[in-house]
Structure 1
Amino acid sequence: MAFLGQLRGWILGAALVAILCTTAGAIDIFLEWHVAFDTTAKPLTLDQPVITINGKFPGPLINVTTNDFVHVNVYNDLDEPLLFTWNGIQQRLNSWQDGVSGTNCPILPGTNWTYVFQTKDQIGTFFYFPSINFQKAAGGHGAIRINNRVVISVPFPKPEAEYDLLIADWYYDSYKLIRSVIGDSEVLYHGVPDTILMNGKGPYGGPFSISYESFNVTKGKTYRFRISNVGTTFSLNFRIQNHSMVIVETEGSYTNQITVDSLDVHVGQSYSVLVTADQDEADYYMVATPKMFRVNDLSSLAGIGVLHYSNSVSQVSGPLPAGPDPFDWNFTVTQARSIRWNLTTGAARPNPQGTFNVSNVTLAQAFVLQNSIGEIEGSARYVVNNVSYYTLNTPLKLADYFRNGSGVYQLGAFPTRSVDEDTAYGISVVPGIHKGWLEIVFKNNLDVMDSWHLDGFSFYVVAFGLGDWDEGARAGYNLYDPVVRSTTQVYPGGWTVVYAFLDNPGMWNLRSQHLQNWYLGEELYIRVHDPDPNPAKEQPPPDNLLLCGIFGESGAPAPAPAPWSWW
């Protein structure tokens, strides 16, 4: 026992030294959020509840630098439980702060809870949003910027200014009404969103718009736009009248700089583009329209904002700038394949991104995940390999820590390479080999676009394809410079393949970013764990840990953890 105590002390000391070395210069940032329903912040003249943060919709920008510690004290003034998740923030060694139903107990109405996470070894463009109860459809989202440390160069000249642009589809109906319709329905809710918002504002000239988004620029200057699709359903094509865009970054990865006239941004994705104000001094349309859906200039599904030159004396006029045909798969797949990792530049660290390549890795695991729609107990559900995730009142992370999952979930019962014959509910938890390479094949059996996200990691997007996937497709993977991100699209009737290095222990959510798919079961969890107590593993739970489910309500004394489970 004495030896074990000395060993534990040595490990903790070494870990502390490593943390101090890697976080030099980092600061603590303290935020206080009051989350409430607010009709005064509504984007349209329609009477509908909007989730605001400190009275704002969208919520406040989180503007931090690599390795900073962010403390967000969330006061829940809603009438139902609440959680926030940080889309793309990797939460190194700390899935306790991930903010999804499998990792956190919800923040109950009238209470508050403080998230604490570190933006460790990350840069880039991300966003946050409420993760439970279909609340994402009511707002509550906001932008996250993680800036480079001053000692790390950025691979383009400093822009005149940076703008955050959150584009999102939006329903006229209340999210609670939609939630009630889809919850126990024998058929899926097929109502499509009604309009497209830009930073929580309706389309320019829209029939129900209160205001529209406008960005001020000066002729000859270059600006960075950080664009995120924070919507629920539609992939969106974004473009600016008479202006080209240079793609420079996506979800924490600097890309090869390519110039585009329009950019497909799929649900849950984020990009940085550079825009030079090189046209006559006037006002120009900024437009976001859905993929796989035809719209015209008068459609409410054309999100419209304005790029305003400082000396402009003319308002926008004429037809909207045309984008690619929304059903042109050649355009969208070609563009997706052209977005490559910049191998010559650093990002969060000085060494080039290309130092971390997948050209010669050995795969330790491979998952083939097929989505579809099934009926379970009279309700329409989204399923993965014929299993629809069943959300428990007890977070999986709590069960894992206190009971090694016993009595809550069965590790490895989910079929990762085959489709079960019977469609059923399941508590889908799969083992991930710590520090092993995982291949995930996402097969989309639906006739609409899908989008998948993995919390806790960025993955290498090595291939897109249409039709069926088989192992022979591996010969065509891009293993030289695949882009690294945390959300990828999967085309209708097609497949996407990613590689992930599972070096971040914890309980991590793998989900569809399409809200109805996610809400109705298209998700699972990957438990990344190493039982060896010698190396430092995931952090222990925070002092303010909330308890719920089989462990009682918040404030109850915590049970003793399973032996060594906190390593």
Structure 2
Amino acid sequence: MAFTFSGHFLIFSIITLAFISFQTEAAIKKYQFNVVVKHVSRLCHAKPIVTINGKFPGPTIYAREGDRVIINVTNYAQYNMSIHWHGIKQLRNGWADGPAYITQCPIKSGSSYNYDFNITGQRGTLWWHAHILWLRATVHGAIVIMPKHGVPYPFPQPDQEAKLILGEWWNEDVEVVETTGSKLGLPPNISDAHTINGKPGPLFPCSDKHTYALEVEHGKTYLLRIINAALNDELFFAIAGHNITVVEIDAVYCKPFTTDAILITPGQTTNVLLHANQAPGRYFMGARPFMDAPIIVDNKTAIAILQYKGVPTTVLPLLPNLPKPNDTTFALNYAQKLKSLNAPQYPAKVPLTIDRHLFYTIGLGINPCATCLNGTKLIASLNNITFVMPKIGLLQAHYFNIKNVFRLDFPDKPKTTFNFTGAPLTANLGTSQGTRLSKLAFNTTVELVLQDTSLLSVESHPFHLHGYNFFVVGQGIGNFDANTDPAKFNLFDPPERNTVGVPTGGWTAIRFRADNPGVWFMHCHLEVHTTWGLKMAFVVENGDGPEQSMLPPPKDLPPC
């Protein structure tokens, strides 16, 4: 595929080379996307935005398990660009992962870069998005990975499929909004609307033409591939009058369960089965934020329409019964229902013995800022360390042993312990800044507990680990107790994910095996928190021999 930017637009075309097992010929798929420059109108406002091929959301990448995908990105926009293939494991091939200044330097305006990677042992719904600045607000799209030929889904075969990408919309240039907030030392303005497939729905002004509609036939079953591409909001999603059955999370099959709503954090994907078995009519699908912390309230609800075939569009749709914005009980109960399929064909390979125990505290704070209008700025930290982005790609610095780019001394636990979720504290406990990474020997088994704190305010945090899936073995409210909580861990069929929510004022424990050498980013997927420094990276060392070692960098790796 070749991505091309023009003016305010990021445009791409893709060539996908698919080598199918047990086939006599390799399947070759070619997609050509031409440069289109246009204004996008939402909420009575038309403005130029950065997009892929002039589309918002961008084009879907279709592949099959075992395929090789080559994506050529050409940047004609005024911004530097990088693209992350969210959830693709990029085995030994961090060069194709995409986060700017972590695995690559960004693609400068007028330059190109080929993302070349294999899809190994994965099938389901993932997504791609810009991984620099706040550009993923409009630069994102779905990745649909089909199983190998002849391999069925481990759930009833749907009659049809559809993608639902949940997002946000700003009436102003999102980069200007973010920059303005940074200069003030305050959070940027929240979005003007939420969207479903780029459209806010009829609850917003001037949006009667901007409502997504999905037509269904009575009696048929539909696989809905749901992606949360929002920058800063966890979202509830529901369909009026219909239950849905969850069958996959983050491109991993799970034990099916039926629910009237789902919770999906930024970065996560959820596949559900919808049975069109209700009285033929028109039903609203809705998405609105889950916010159970004492922060800015955002009650905007995006609406789309589920339209039964043959029903007149004059019929008034029924509204969905979404959970309340602060429904913590629903959120916790929903998380408890998520379990790996753990079938012979799809086993849950949970590490049962642990080589390295990590405990990371999540903190928000206020630091002095001489250049900010308010004299202070908001910061975020892990183990009281605010991450400083380097000026050269960390993977390049690691591979070529370039000195003085980062330090390998990120602590396994916080320097200072306290009542993490007690009364809010105003002190930052001496928050430091630096580009500090944690080194893991190849094949190390890791248990990481992410603990929310009340340093400034408790809040939920969706964390994404690049290069890996992990098992969510435990979650709880309050302080993690190393003496009693591990006994409650689910080590049989815990959910396997690449992005997980840390509950407000609580903790989440994950486990993974560090068998993918390279430099791998881990960060909160709330863009505002990532901007404030809520991120770090792991350096996973090579193992024995070439099959356990990083691949060399491509010749067209963007320079810094």
Residues 39-118 of structure 1 mapped to structure 2, 5 A cutoff: 39-101=38-100, 102-118=102-118
Structure 1 residues 88-487: aligned runs within 5 Å = 88-101=87-100, 102-137=102-137, 139-189=138-188, 191-209=189-207, 210-292=209-291, 301-315=300-314, 317=316, 320-344=319-343, 351-354=344-347, 356-358=349-351, 361-378=352-369, 379-403=377-401, 405-411=402-408, 413-419=409-415, 421-445=429-453, 446-472=457-483, 473-487=485-499
Measured in 2, the distance between the counterparts of 1:186 and 1:154 equals: 49
TM-score, length-normalised on structure 1? 0.86
Tell me the CA shift for residue 31 of structure 1: 5.2
Equivalent position amino acid for 1:490 in 2: V
Deviates more, 1:70-79 or 1:420-429: 420-429
Give 1:565's aligned residue. none
- Measured against aligned partners, the alpha-carbon deviations of 1:349-375 in whole angstroms (never above 9, x if no partner) come to xx52226244xx211112211111233
Deviation of 1:129 after TM superposition, in Å, equals 0.7
Amino acid at match of 1:356: K
Is this contact kept in 1: 2:228–2:266, CA < 8 A?
Answer: yes
CA distance in 1, matches of 2:22, 2:541: 28
Q: How far off is 1:418 after superposition?
A: 1.1
CA contact (8 A) 2:443 2:543 kept: no
Q: Distance in 1 between matches of 2:175 and 2:547?
A: 46
Counterpart code for 1:192: I
Cα separation, 1, equivalents of 2:199 and 2:348 = 42
1:325 Cα shift? 2.5
Q: Retained in 1: the 8 A contact 2:282–2:317?
A: no
Query: 3-state SS of the aligned residue for 1:334?
Result: helix
- The verdict on how the C-alpha distance between 1:215 and 1:419 changes in structure 2, with shifts beyond 3 A counting, is farther
Q: 1:24 to 1:312 in 2, by over 3 A?
A: same
Kindly state the Cα deviation for residue 67 of structure 1 after the two structures are TM-superposed. 1.3
Question: Is the alpha carbon distance of 1:239 and 1:268 closer, same or farther for their aligned partners in structure 2, counting shifts above 3 Å?
Answer: same
- How far, CA to CA, are the matches of 1:529 and 1:23 in structure 2? 31
Change (3 A) 1:318 1:273: closer
Secondary structure, aligned partner of 1:178: helix
For 1:410, give the aligned amino acid. R
Which is further off, 303-312 or 151-160?
Answer: 151-160
Q: Secondary structure at the match of 2:39?
A: coil
- Letter of the aligned partner of 2:540 in structure 1? V
Partners of 1:107 and 1:21 in 2: how far apart? Answer: 28
SS of aligned partner of 1:78: coil
Q: For 2:287 and 2:35, how far apart are their aligned partners in 1?
A: 28
Which SS does the other structure have where 2:88 is aligned? coil
CA distance in 2, matches of 1:236, 1:315: 29
User: 1:520 aligns to what?
Assistant: 532
Whole-angstrom distance in 1 between the partners of 2:547 and 2:145: 29
Could you tell me how far 1:314 is from its partner in structure 2?
4.8
Instruction: Please tell me whether the aligned partners of residues 369 and 416 of structure 1 are also in contact (alpha carbons under 8 angstroms).
Output: yes
Unaligned segments of structure 2, at least 5 residues: 1-17, 370-376, 417-428
Helix, strand or coil: the match of 2:486?
helix
Distance in 1 separating the partners of 2:548 and 2:299: 53
8 Å CA contact 2:288, 2:299 repeated in 1: no
The 8 Å contact of residues 355 and 445 in structure 2, kept in 1 or not, is answered as yes
Match of 1:82, SS?
A: coil
* Shift of residue 158, structure 1, vs aligned partner: 2.1
Distance 2:175 2:480 in 1: 38
Question: Which structure dedicates a bigger proportion of its chain to helix?
Answer: 1
Give the whole-Å Cα distance in 2 for the aligned partners of 1:86 and 1:75.
Answer: 16
Structure 2 CA distance, aligned partners of 1:151 and 1:248?
Answer: 19
Aligned partner of residue 47 in structure 2, secondary structure: coil
Q: Distance in 1 between matches of 2:225 and 2:543?
A: 40
Partner amino acid, structure 2, of 1:416: D
- Taking structure 2 as the reference length, the TM-score comes to 0.87
Distance 2:555 2:28 in 1: 17
CA contact 1:247–1:274 (8 Å) conserved in 2: yes
Are the counterparts in 2 of residues 434 and 504 from structure 1 also a CA contact under 8 Å? yes
Please say if residues 255 and 340 of structure 1, whose CA atoms lie closer than 8 Å, have aligned partners that are also in contact: yes
Q: Give the count of matched residue pairs.
A: 512
